[in-house]
Chain A
Amino acid sequence: MFQSLQDKLNGAFRTLKGKDRITDINVAATTKEVRRALVDADVNFKIAKDITDRIRETAMDRKILISVEPGQMFVKIVQEELTRLMGSNSESISIKGDPAVILIAGLQGSGKTTFSGKLAAMLKKQGKQVMLAACDIYRPAAIDQLKVLGEQIGVEVYAEPENKNAVAIAQQAIAYARQNGKKIVIVDTAGRLAVDEAMMQEVEDIKKALNPSEILFVVDSMTGQDAVNTAKTFNERLNFDGVVLTKLDGDSRGGAALSIRQVVEKPIKFISTGEKMEALDLFHPDRMASRILGMGDVISLVERA
């Protein structure tokens, strides 16, 4: 049976219960459990190790200040640390240039096309002249998919179904936008694996050709240990500006968010929480920390203490 993170931590805190100080030994036992709990939430193994080592030191440093139960204190320290590590919330995106270009990239099936539509809808709502560019020339019906979404939200989609050169399509899209008074172009690209050299080169070429003011890396919140490898490579190739975390309407712990943040040091800017065009939210590090820990209740308990 999958043991929930909460259970695991509760188990770990039993080591501390009743003790009035956080000692070396009980912190060691607990950090090990916390590490395993983080890993179960899909935080990268090495990163979980680093974080718990650091938390352990923090816990030791704070032993004098302990006014609540050590177990609760410990949870609070962990939650605070995770929140801090995930950065501040609601980073805005940069919209510069004529037109401003926002490039969307990521693995296959992560939710790029859906997010492109959502972002376009959001910008349109803000009164911006926005356009979508269909630069996925590989996936069957990728263009149709974006067109359907464009129609739903009332945003024009630039596409060249016969053209087999994604860079050329992207460039034409920009020219078209300029001629037609569109101020922002969101460029949807094909899904690609970080190890696919030809495809990584393509997206790098699109970047070079368009000089986007914002590049967003879209990642599925259910991703496991491999998230760090992928994020690292995409970042090396594109030096992206922010991360979009998708499918958070499910029950994934989303530990990949923490791993990616640690590895590339780029903010998570949006979270995607459904298939509908409205399901887009800003990222809140504290909520994400609680989600990874699976213990929002315990946190609020400590807050009240």
Chain B
Amino acid sequence: EKSKESIFGRLSRVVIGKTTVDEEVLDELEEILISSDVGVETTVKIIDRIEKRVARDKYTSTGELDRMLREEVAALLTENRSVSISNSFETEQLPKPYVIMVVGVNGVGKTTTIGKLAHQFHQHGKKVVLGAADTFRAAAVDQLKLWGKRVDVPVIEHGMNTDPSAVAFDAVKKGVEIGADVIIIDTAGRLHTKVNLMNELTKIKRVVQKFLPEAPHEVLLVLDGSTGQNAVIQAREFTKATEVTSLAITKLDGTAKGGVVIGISDEFKIPVKYIGVGEGMNDLQVFNREQFVDSLFKK
């Protein structure tokens, strides 16, 4: 069955005996990339690069085409500069405390990702504090508190319907007081089209900076791996409001490929740091470009 075949299996079939990348190969490639949510623009970009590359250093085997393809896709993914640090969740080379603010649209997996991150840092002997600055969504504070309990990390909260900036400020302040290594701020999900809510994010950031001018050291934008092309606009708008510094893609334990992140990483030069692969506290992985590209091409 066609859909069960790996991308390279399919590509191999159409490239057999050919020395150029013809229409048929490109069509096949287009379908595979588009079906992984890579998007038309980025797909066209990848195909152009493949065509140029093939014109330059002709490939002799399908294996070589595979390699070229993988390389061209991986090249679009911004290198995760702090890969060694995040790999091990060691914080020795990071400022102390290291403040991470987590943002994103509704329901993408922000709170869950925070729980998992807290667990990883905690496992590595780091002192972690969480700030419950989603004071809006029903039972959001309870949800984060349960995560805090689960992974044995304190949660700073002011309850529901309170000022999120004040919670964030307090979390950083308390974190500094108790000598925390990592402080992670949860924020309410918000669609990037809502101007007031986006301004609120900018405000949270500003208020935190009143206490710790260089904070937040990291603004992590969480994207749902099953989201299509809207994720590109999300990245643009959240970057405008909060200068996003890293990405996490969640729900990659499903059948969605998360291919939209390729175009995002390329356009905004923001590295993907983490991927979410489940609902448990251990279901977080450090992003690996090569593995991600491989998984794109696996059915």
| Residues of A bordering B, CB below 8 Å | 2-3, 36, 39-42, 44-45, 107-111, 113, 138-142, 144-149, 152, 193-195, 220, 222-227, 229-230, 247, 249-253, 255-256, 275
Contacts and interface: CB of A to CB of B under 8 A. Distances in A.
A186 B31 CA distance: 40
B108 interface: yes
A41 B229 contact: yes
| Residue among A110, A223, A224 with the highest chain B CB neighbour number at 10 A | A224
26 contacts: A3-B41, A40-B40, A40-B41, A41-B229, A107-B251, A108-B107, A108-B251, A109-B251, A139-B143, A139-B279, A144-B142, A144-B143, A148-B139, A193-B255, A220-B224, A220-B227, A223-B226, A224-B256, A226-B254, A230-B254, A247-B191, A249-B191, A250-B191, A250-B230, A256-B228, A275-B136
A252 B105 CA distance: 12
A194 B254 CA distance: 7
| Residue among B34, B138, B139, B140 with the highest chain A CB neighbour number at 10 A | B138
Contact of A222 (B39, B105, B143, B147): B105
A226 B257 contact: yes
Interface residues of B, number: 47
Nearest to B36: A225
Nearest to B256: A226
A255 B40 CA distance: 14
A11 to B, nearest CB: 12
Nearest to B263: A2
B192 A250 contact: yes
A82 B144 CA distance: 42
A141 B257 CA distance: 29
Which applies to chain A's interface (DSSP): helix, strand, loop or mixed? loop
Contacts of A229: 255
A247 B106 contact: yes
| Residue among A111, A144, A225, A256 with the highest chain B CB neighbour number at 10 A | A225
B227 A224 contact: yes
A138 B278 CA distance: 12
| Residue among A142, A147, A193 with the highest chain B CB neighbour number at 10 A | A193
A109 B222 CA distance: 13
A222 B193 contact: no
Given A107-B254, A193-B254, A140 B34 contact: no
* 4 shortest interchain CB distances as A-B pairs: A224-B228, A109-B107, A42-B228, A140-B146
B232 A2 contact: yes
B253 interface: yes
Contact of A36 (B40, B191, B193, B228): B40
A41 B37 CA distance: 11
A255 B229 CA distance: 10
